[in-house]
Chains A and B, each alone.
Chain A
Amino acid sequence: GEDVEQSLFLSVREGDSSVINCTYTDSSSTYLYWYKQEPGAGLQLLTYIFSNMDMKQDQRLTVLLNKKDKHLSLRIADTQTGDSAIYFCAGISPTISGGYNKLIFGAGTRLAVHP
């Protein structure tokens, strides 16, 4: 089945770019997602990329997908203190019996932004 891995911590200076990396095992995932979780809150969908795309940009966020290496990254430009949160990547598991598939989440990367 699908397995998703992320580094656990990232610390950046305010104003710098942050790059959060994720690797996955199942190349059949049609979509790959990035979620943001602020302290004590639920998960907020940040962005997603369709598997036939290499890059997607949305304001300060850039998602890069390297299908050959099964590597997904989220770049946050001009990182602000409000970007401090846990970031989860997720992929879709292969369809199982009953036509159901589910999101498989990485463990999350904790981004700390310091002055």
Chain B
Amino acid sequence: SQTIHQWPATLVQPVGSPLSLECTVEGTSNPNLYWYRQAAGRGLQLLFYSVGIGQISSEVPQNLSASRPQDRQFILSSKKLLLSDSGFYLCAWRSDTQYFGPGTRLTVL
């Protein structure tokens, strides 16, 4: 069966520090992968999606970037965090339906 992991589960970072969130998928090959952000009490905002290694599409202009160095690995990064980057970050993969990871809660202080 397919599983999706996210690391770390929670993170507190100061403004201006770098960020790296990792998402890995098991049990499938060449998945479509997605990064979402959920601000407190809000819905989901799609940030990035990837249909293959090295292929990244950005949905909204922002302070974040994504990379896909391996088929089942998707990384969300930032060189300098902003306060507005705080939120709950969800990774997802999709075949006919979409499955989500457990999420990473990021607090920028």
A→B interface (CB under 8 Å): 31, 33, 35, 40-45, 48, 88, 90, 98, 100, 102-103, 105-108
**What is the interface of chain A mostly: helix, strand, loop, or mixed?**
strand
Q: Please determine whether A88 and B101 come into contact, CB atoms closer than 8 angstroms.
A: no
Given the interface contacts A42-B102, A43-B90, does A31 sit within 8 Å of B96 by beta carbon?
yes
B→A interface (CB under 8 Å): 6, 32, 34, 42-44, 46, 49, 51, 57, 90, 92, 94, 96-103, 105
Given the interface contacts A40-B105, A102-B49, does A107 sit within 8 Å of B100 by beta carbon?
no
Return 26 A-B CB contacts under 8 Å, by A number.
A33-B97, A40-B103, A40-B105, A41-B102, A42-B90, A42-B100, A42-B101, A42-B102, A42-B103, A43-B90, A43-B92, A45-B97, A45-B98, A45-B99, A45-B100, A48-B97, A100-B32, A100-B49, A100-B51, A100-B57, A102-B34, A102-B49, A103-B98, A105-B44, A106-B43, A107-B43
